């Protein structure tokens, strides 16, 4: 066992590691990416926008090079599997390794069930589940190729556990429930080290409560009164800020959670506890 007492917070040290964060250009994904950068990780943010916006550029200005980390942008739509696979393969090849993935790309839509179209259901599931699934498999393939005992965090939601008051989301909620179950399934498949030494990849899901992101702000604008309902439903009586999930992401991607796999980490201000 390594003597971790010789270096401060060694279990959280990501220096020399390469990581991918999908949906990493803004909001929750970007906040979690910053957490990995602060710990010294080389982080590649994948997002579908042709170029990063002001929020990403401000985050890049906050990077402290002396800490060993860096932030990089790659334009990728997770629903384009060929492009997604090629991008993650290229990132791993450039670094000769891939140590972790945070799959945070997703969309939220508040629509009554009887108003949904087949196309609307497909779009939600294509991004929130299929895109996330393909991101996880693309990353795992590269971890195995380079012999990295990596870690994957699939971003789910407390909406995969409960039906949120004031939010008609009959497709979003099941998409996140599927992510929680996917983490368990992939953990069972990838965590054991095989005879050919493949495997050793931990997989967990993270279920945030209500977080103030650009997507959630759009929900509030279209549905007056929703914010007040959501704030009253958790013990903190407020929404979370994306930066409050930086440490959780670092924990799940680092050696600090080395015996944790197939779990769902719920951080929701006590929403699902009462």
CB atoms within 10 A of CB 146: 15
Is residue 176 annotated as part of the catalytic site, yes or no? yes
The pairing of strands 151-155 and 42-47 is unpaired
Q: Is 259 exposed, middle or buried (0-12, 13-18, 19+ CB in 10 A)?
A: exposed
Q: Of residues 56, 129, 176, 246, which has the active-site annotation?
A: 176
What b/e string do you get for 69-107 counting C-beta neighbours within 10 Å, with b at 16 or more?
Answer: bebbbbebbbeebebbbebbbebbeebebbbbbbbbbbe
Which tokens sit at 161? Answer: 């556990």
SS3 letters across 52-105: CCHHHHHHHHCCCHHHCCEEEEEECCCCCHHHHHHHHHHHHHHHCCCCEEEECC
Which two three-digit tokens encode residue 136?
């996880």
Query: Which neighbouring-strand residues pair with 151?
Result: 100, 202
Give me the catalytic one of 42, 56, 172, 246.
172
62, 34 contact by CB (below 8 A): yes
Q: What is the three-class DSSP state of 264?
A: strand
Q: What is the rounded CA–CA span in Å between residue 187 and residue 180?
A: 11
Q: Is 172 a catalytic residue?
A: yes
Q: How many C-beta neighbours within 10 Å does residue 48 have?
A: 17
205 and 129 in contact (C-beta within 8 Å)? Answer: no
Which positions are catalytic?
Answer: 172, 176
């Amino acid at each position: 066992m390594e003597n971790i007492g010789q270096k401060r917070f060694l279990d959280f040290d990501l220096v020399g590691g390469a990581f991918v964060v999908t949906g990493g250009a803004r909001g929750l994904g970007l906040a979690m990416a910053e957490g990995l950068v602060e710990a010294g990780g080389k982080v590649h943010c994948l997002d579908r926008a042709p170029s990063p916006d002001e929020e990403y550029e401000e985050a890049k200005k906050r990077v402290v090079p002396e800490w060993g980390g860096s932030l990089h942008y790659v334009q990728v739509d997770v629903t384009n599997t060929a492009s997604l696979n090629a991008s993650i393969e290229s990132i791993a090849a450039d670094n000769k390794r891939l140590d972790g993935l945070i799959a945070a790309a997703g969309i939220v839509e508040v629509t009554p069930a009887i108003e949904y179209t087949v196309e609307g259901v497909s779009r939600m599931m294509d991004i929130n589940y299929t895109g996330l699934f393909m991101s996880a498999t693309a990353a795992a393939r590269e971890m195995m190729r380079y012999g990295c005992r990596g870690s994957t965090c699939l971003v789910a939601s407390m909406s995969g556990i409960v039906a949120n008051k004031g939010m008609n989301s009959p497709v979003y909620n099941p998409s996140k429930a599927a992510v929680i179950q996917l983490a368990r399934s992939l953990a069972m498949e990838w965590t054991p080290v095989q005879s050919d030494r493949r495997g050793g990849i931990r997989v967990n899901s993270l279920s945030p409560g209500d977080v103030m992101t650009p997507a959630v702000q759009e929900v509030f604008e279209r549905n007056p009164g929703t914010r007040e309902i959501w704030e009253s439903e958790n013990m903190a009586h407020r929404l979370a800020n994306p930066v409050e999930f930086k440490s959780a992401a670092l924990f799940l991607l680092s050696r600090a959670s080395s015996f944790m796999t197939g779990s769902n980490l719920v951080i929701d201000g006590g929403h699902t506890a009462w």
